[in-house]
Amino acid sequence: MRHITTNNTPTPTIRGIADHSWQERGRCHGLPAEEIDELFFPAARARAAIDAAKAVCGSCPVKKACFDYALDNEIRQGVWGGLTEDERRPWHAKVNKRLDYARIKAAFEGRDIHLSDAERDAVTRHAYVRGWSPERLAYALRLDNLDWARDLMRNAAHAVADRDRYWGHTEPEEATTDENPEDDVSSEEDTEDAVSPVQVPRQAHTHALIAALRKAA
């Protein structure tokens, strides 16, 4: 029997760089500056103070927005979103590799948001495919240097050309004579982790994504 599932989860709001309205709904909003410094910027080994800060964050309605704000603005000190500096360190280390297509779509819609390096590359590729001018890309990415936008477009042209040249061209698999399939070193996991000859994210080629980005553009 086949089952059809649906996902009715609403798309999260992507906030602009200058949108700080979420702070007014934080549980820490309105506290005296001295208390905030003592509570959310404790000493490294002040376990009691850290626990007290996490207790405040635990039921805060904007905890996720607070966490995102610390990541987007490279704030490494203090407790943000219920996490300490040490707990946020792995997230800071990989933030420039983040590839969230909700953020890419928001950028196409004109939102001024923080994009990772990977997300900026994806925006540039899709802008090139849609025939955007360097001036329009510079405006979308908030670039002051038009030559930089031209360079990004040129790199996107090479990436798209290479993708189209090699897409779908893979080496045929050699037939195996092993009688026991469990001895075969190939697996679905290995296939998932195989490196493509051109490093263009697979998500960039889905019909649903292209349709959504075309509508946003």
pLDDT in tens, 103-148: 888 888 888 888 888 888 899 998 998 899 999 999 888 888 899 8
Is residue 153 over pLDDT 60?
Answer: yes
Task: Give Cα separations from 210 to 12, 97, 104, 109 (angstroms).
Answer: 20, 21, 12, 14
| pLDDT the model gives residue 56 | 93
The residues, any chain, with a CB within 8 Å of residue 147's CB and separated by 6 or more, are none
**Mean pLDDT, rounded, for 188-195:** 37
| pLDDT the model gives residue 84 | 92
- The more confidently predicted of residues 174 and 156 is 156
Is residue 198 over pLDDT 50?
Answer: no
| pLDDT the model gives residue 217 | 59
CA 78, CA 108: separation in Å to the nearest integer? 33
CA 200, CA 163: separation in Å to the nearest integer? 7
| pLDDT the model gives residue 55 | 93
- The more confidently predicted of residues 201 and 79 is 79
| pLDDT the model gives residue 187 | 39
Among 45-49, 101-105, 169-173, name the one with the lowest average pLDDT: 169-173
Is 92 exposed, middle or buried, given 0-12, 13-18 or 19+ CB atoms closer than 10 A?
middle
Band the pLDDT of 2: cuts 50, 70, 90: very low
**Would you kindly state where each structural domain of the chain is located, as residue ranges?**
21-96, 101-167+199-216
For residue 154, give both structure tokens: 């040129």
Band the pLDDT of 181: cuts 50, 70, 90: very low
CA 143, CA 137: separation in Å to the nearest integer? 8
The residues, any chain, with a CB within 8 Å of residue 53's CB and separated by 6 or more, are 39, 40, 42, 79
Cα dihedral angle (23, 138, 124, 97), rounded to 10 degrees? -40
CA 118, CA 161: separation in Å to the nearest integer? 18
Is residue 11 over pLDDT 50?
Answer: no
